Amino acid sequence: MLSFPFPRSGVLRCRGRDLAYGQRTLVMGIINVTPDSFSGDGIGGAVDVAVERAVRMVAEGADLIDIGGESTRPHARPVSDSEERARVVPVVEAVARAVSVPISVDTRKPKVAEAALAAGAHLINDVAGLQRDPEMASVVATFDVPIVVMHSPGEPWDVPWPATYADVVDDVRAYLDRSIQIALRAGVPFGQVIVDPGFGFGKSVDDNLTLLRRLGEFRSLGAPVLIGTSRKSTIGTILGVPVDERLEGSLATLPLAIAQGVDIVRVHDVRASARVVRMADAVVRGFVATGDR
C-alpha cells in the first residue's frame, strides 16, 4: 500500500458525473478534434468518429474523456476562438450524450471553455495553468467545475523551447502554486483543482525524465496530480522510435508515476494503459478492480 506523508483521496465534483480519486488511478482518454496533433491521432471535426472513439475508450477503461480542439505541439498553428469553438462544441454535445463519464475540454481560451461548459462539458484542462487569460478562472468558478492546471513556460510558438530552469521540479511547483492561488482568488474551491507538471511542454529530455523521477514531490501541493506522457517526443528520443511506435515507452511511464502517487494519467491508448494501471494499482495501492474490462 502507498505510504505517502499525507494519504489523500477525495471527489471531484463534475456536474453530477463525480470522480472519486485516491483509491485507484483514473485514466483520461484523449480525443483530439484537430487536423494537426503531434501524435497523428487528430480527427478534425468528425463528430461520429469522436463518439465512436469515446464509446470505445470508456468500454476499454477510460474514467474520463479529454477533448481538444487546438494542437499544443511546438510550432503548431494557433487557432482562433471561433474556429476552436466550432471544432469542440458539437463534439462535446454528442460525446456527453453517448457516454456517462465526465468530459474534459483541453483549452487555454475562456470563450471556448465557456461554450464547451454550456454545451455540457464537466471540467476544463488548461495547458496554460490559468496564467494566460484572467477570465479563465472566472469561467471555471462560474460553472463550478474542476480545473486541471498544467505547467507550460509559455506558448509553444513564442518561447525559447525548451525553457531553462534553476531546478525543474521547484520551478514547476512554484508555477503550479501560483495557478492554485489564481483559482482560489477567482472562487474555485481548492478541492476542484488538479495539478499537472506538463511533461513535454518547454522541457528538455532531461527535464522530462527528472519530472517523472520526482513526480511524488508535486503531492506537496495537496491537490490531485495528473500526468500526460503518452507518445511524447522524450519517449521517441530515448527509444529512437517514431510517434506510432511509442506505446511500450508510454506504458513504461505509468507504473513509475503510479508508484509516486499520481491520481490521473492522460493517454491515447486506453485499453493497454488501463490494463497497466490496474496491475500497478493492485501492487502499489492494494486496489484490485472487480469486473472484466
Question: Does residue number 150 form part of the binding site for ligand HH2 (CB under 6 A)?
Answer: yes
By three-state DSSP, how is residue 202 classified? coil
User: Is residue 56 within the footprint of ligand HH2 (CB under 6 A)?
Assistant: no
Angle at 131 between CA 125 and CA 137, to 5 degrees: 60
Its sign, for the CA torsion 62, 27, 146, 106, is negative
Q: Which residue is nearest to ligand HH2 (CB)?
A: 228
Q: How far is the CB of 129 from ligand HH2 (least distance, A)?
A: 9
Single residue of 129, 146, 224, 228 touching ligand HH2 by CB under 6 A: 228
Q: What are phi and psi of 154, to 5 degrees?
A: 160, -165
Of residues 69-98, those binding ligand HH2 (CB under 6 A): 71-73
Q: How far apart are CA 293 and CA 281, in angstroms?
A: 15
> Given 266, 271, 278, 285, which residue is catalytic?
266
Distance, CA of 199 to CA of 41 (rounded, Å): 18
Task: Tell me if residue 109 is catalytic.
Answer: no
The residue (of 7 and 35) whose beta carbon lies closer to ligand HH2 is 35
Catalytic status, residue 232: yes
> In this structure, what DSSP letter does residue 278 have?
H
Given the residues 87, 109, 173, 232, select the one marked as catalytic: 232
Q: Which among 254, 245, 247 is positioned nearest to 279, based on CA atoms?
A: 254
Residues that bind ligand HH2 in the complex, under the rule CB under 6 A: 30, 32, 34, 37-39, 68, 71-73, 106, 125, 127, 148, 150, 196, 198-199, 226, 228, 266
Residues with catalytic function: 232, 266
